[in-house]
Amino acid sequence: MINPLGYDHLSYIAASYGLFAAATLYLVLGSRARLATVSRRLRAADPRARGSSAE
């Protein structure tokens, strides 16, 4: 097992930080994509919405 930091229980530590990073990416990218989609569809649905819904 590669253990560059020389830590004991490295697999448990790596799994914890990995889970956290995955969940953060999911939340951040998910909300960004949701905002982008809804802004685009809002602009397409009503040109007047451009002013008030712009980010």
Partner 1 sequence: MDAGARVDALRRRFKPARRGHSLCFNPPPRPDTVTDVDAIPALAAQQTGPRPVRRTLHRFANPGRFLRLAARVQPWLTGPALLLTLLGLGWGLLFSPADYQQGDAVRIMYVHVPCAWLSTAGYAGLAAASLAALVWRHPLADMAAAEIGPVGALVTALCLATGSLWGKPMWGAWWVWDARLTSELVLFFLYCGHMMLIRAFDDAERGARAGAILALVGVVNLPIIHYSVQWWSTLHQGNSIGLTGSSTMSGSMLWPLAVAALGTTLGFAAIVVARLRAAVMERRLRGLLMAHAESVA
C-beta contacts of 16-20 below 8 A and 24+ residues apart: none
Give whichever of 2 and 52 is closer to partner 1, judged by the CB atom: 52
CA atoms within a 13 Å half-sphere pointing along the CA-CB vector of 8:
0
Shortest distance, position 28 Cβ to partner 1, whole Å:
7
Q: Please state the closest distance from residue 45 (CB atom) to partner 1, in A.
A: 5
- Smallest separation, CB 33 to partner 1 (Å): 9
Q: Are 10 and 3 in contact (CB under 8 A)?
A: yes
